[in-house]
Structure 1
Amino acid sequence: MSLDTVTLQCFLAVAETGSFTKAADRVNRTQSAVSQQLAKLELILGKTLINRGKILSLTNEGEIFLGYARQIFALHREALDRFKQPELEGEVRFGLPEDLATVLLSDVLVNFSRIHPRVFLKVECDLTLNLFDRFRRGEFDLILVKMSRPEEFPEGVDMWSESLEWVGKDEHFKNSDAQSPLPLVLSPQPCVYRARAIEALETAGIPWRLVYSSPSYTGTVAAVKAGLGLTVLPKAIVPAPLEVLRSNLLPPLPQTHVSLLRQGHASKAVESLEEFVLKKVRH
């Protein structure tokens, strides 16, 4: 029996996602089909590659084989790309906020690049209003933007909507002085989350003070983990060990919306990435 690219692709998907379910979604096959491919591969090699417990992990042999599998699959794609007319090529300039790039889109962009190796993705992160200004100047082909209302960007494709949440560590919030101004960790202006948080607090008459400001999602999360203050995030991107805080002392926050905007005259590569992002993120 010999190795084939379908089997290798299934193994790589399981190894990289740590889940049969996520792997099946990545390779567009059923979970049972992926499991069968892994069993077939282990039979060919005569080694157990995956520890199948509550948490999937690679065995020592699986870790060793992972390097070979990546090289074989990369050479396979390179050979096809060299001798066949590629379906897509060119450059796509994509802008999005750092928090969405960090939490939601890394796998999406990696998968797109794997499928279309001749498309060069130029990805930049910035605040939403900065992204939109640069988009209007023609610096981006696609942007993902956060907003308060979908009608703020009527030309965009509405991706999803969800309520903003007060986020922090519950132990730090309970130990804070209720009479003191609420310590906030927020991005600098212009930031949709910052504007909504301050507006909600001032409408409710709750005093606040900015204790830390960073344009970086990573920096914001680190400051909140350290107990410097609270921040505001959509529930979908709240990282552990931070928590959504439920308290009558905190005012409710409005919904946030995410839209995808594309330039009017787009190449096939840009249109393909737009369709890919819409399909994967909505799914």
Structure 2
Amino acid sequence: MLNPQWLRTFAALTELGNFTRAAERLDLTQAAVSQHLHHLEDALGLLVIRRPRAIELTPAGRALLDYCEAMEQARRRLDARVSGPAEAGEIGLITPESIGLALFPLMLDWQAQHPQWKIRYCFAPDPEVLDAVLTNRYDLGIVTLKPDDTRLTASKFMQEPLELVVPAGAKVRAWSHLETLGFIDHPDGRAMANRLLSRRFRKNASVADLPRNGFSNQIALILEFVARGLGFTVIPRYARAAFAQQYKIEVVECGSPVVETLWLIHRAEWPLPAPCARAVRYLEERMKG
């Protein structure tokens, strides 16, 4: 591989046409400039012909000059990609499904406004989100528990309240009413239900003692059970708000809210790319609105 300093010396020498001026620009001695050229000619053959008042490039010299210019253009492209705003690309975001039901359409709106940026979105539980960001398969992730891995930067994104959702018209004034309705479960269902229902029904047993009338691991489908009168469930607000048939369900007040903090994560070792940062600001503003 050719020494980059030798190439810089050769480029300055051909631009200025003079060993003295090239040495002054590069803060080198004339002897150093001559030595760099000698090293290059040892590797590539005769590059310049010394004339009384100038130098003349040989065919090999012209080829090397083209190579130097190509290397400089490549360096500028690299600088632009690493430290400057990229003109186009892809943004990868991976989140739990509940908040994803709210964020995904917003990201589609964002892509419509910035068509040069393509959105790649994935729904996944916390462990998969962490792994996807740590292995650089996704730029950004959202998790429900703040990670303690020093390779990740975690910042509060927003809070998501839990809601008790029942079929429209159902009367829920006592624990016995929940027993009659039956519980529609999901992977986080019992943990969420116990946290929320303990605020409203303090003296009753665990939700595990209630009839289990259904289960789905797809959060978008859980409320289909409830809308058909098959039971009640406890889910995050954004999952409930995304359900198309709101008239078929109701939210029951359970006293002081129970909220989950959502954490935005990305790799800590390098800055968040500018387009990703702009997309995050856009999402935060839209969700606040």
- Per the normalisation by structure 1, the TM-score is 0.54
Deviation string for 1:20-39 (max 9, x for gaps)?
xxxxxxxxxxxxxxxxxxxx
1:105 corresponds to which letter in structure 2?
Answer: L
Deviation string for 1:241-277 (max 9, x for gaps)?
2211247xxx976322222222233333323322322
Any stretches of 5+ residues in structure 1 without a counterpart?
Answer: 1-85
Contact preservation (8 Å) 1:142, 1:274: no
Deviation string for 1:88-135 (max 9, x for gaps)?
312221112223232x22442122212322222111112334323433
1:245 matches 2:249: no
Map 1:7-156 to 2 at 5 A: 88-102=87-101, 104-147=102-145, 155-156=153-154
Q: Residue 193 of structure 2 corresponds to which residue in structure 1?
A: 197
Distance in 1 between residues matched to 2:163 and 2:250, nearest whole Å: 9
CA 209–131 in structure 1, closer or farther in 2 if over 3 Å, else same? farther
Q: Offset of 1:209 from its aligned partner?
A: 3.7
Q: Offset of 1:197 from its aligned partner?
A: 1.4
Q: Give the one of 228, 231, 236 matched to 2:233.
A: 231
Distance in 1 between residues matched to 2:190 and 2:148, nearest whole Å: 17
Distance in 1 between residues matched to 2:258 and 2:211, nearest whole Å: 20
Bigger radius of gyration among the two: 2
Distance in 1 between residues matched to 2:229 and 2:132, nearest whole Å: 35
Distance in 2 between residues matched to 1:212 and 1:159, nearest whole Å: 32
1:260 matches 2:260: no
Distance in 1 between residues matched to 2:283 and 2:138, nearest whole Å: 16
Q: Offset of 1:140 from its aligned partner?
A: 1.8
CA 177–194 in structure 1, closer or farther in 2 if over 3 Å, else same? closer
Distance in 1 between residues matched to 2:226 and 2:132, nearest whole Å: 30
Contact preservation (8 Å) 1:184, 1:209: yes
SS in 1 for 2:217: coil
Distance in 2 between residues matched to 1:162 and 1:182, nearest whole Å: 25
CA 230–137 in structure 1, closer or farther in 2 if over 3 Å, else same? farther
Q: Offset of 1:220 from its aligned partner?
A: 0.6
CA 214–129 in structure 1, closer or farther in 2 if over 3 Å, else same? farther
* CA RMSD, Structure 1 to Structure 2 (Å): 3.5
Distance in 2 between residues matched to 1:235 and 1:221, nearest whole Å: 12
Q: Offset of 1:143 from its aligned partner?
A: 1.3
1:196 corresponds to which letter in structure 2?
Answer: M
Q: Residue 272 of structure 1 corresponds to which residue in structure 2?
A: 278
Deviation string for 1:209-234 (max 9, x for gaps)?
43322222221111111122211133
CA 199–271 in structure 1, closer or farther in 2 if over 3 Å, else same? closer
SS in 2 for 1:224: helix
Aligned length: 189
Distance in 2 between residues matched to 1:94 and 1:254, nearest whole Å: 26
Distance in 1 between residues matched to 2:275 and 2:128, nearest whole Å: 24
CA 87–183 in structure 1, closer or farther in 2 if over 3 Å, else same? same
Distance in 2 between residues matched to 1:135 and 1:252, nearest whole Å: 34
SS in 2 for 1:168: strand
Contact preservation (8 Å) 1:211, 1:229: yes
Map 1:136-215 to 2 at 5 A: 136-147=134-145, 155-172=153-170, 178=177, 180=179, 183-188=182-187, 191=188, 194-198=190-194, 204-206=204-206, 207-215=209-217
Contact preservation (8 Å) 1:167, 1:232: yes
Runs of 4+ in 1 over 3 A off after TM superposition: 150-155, 170-182, 198-204, 234-239
Distance in 2 between residues matched to 1:115 and 1:179, nearest whole Å: 46
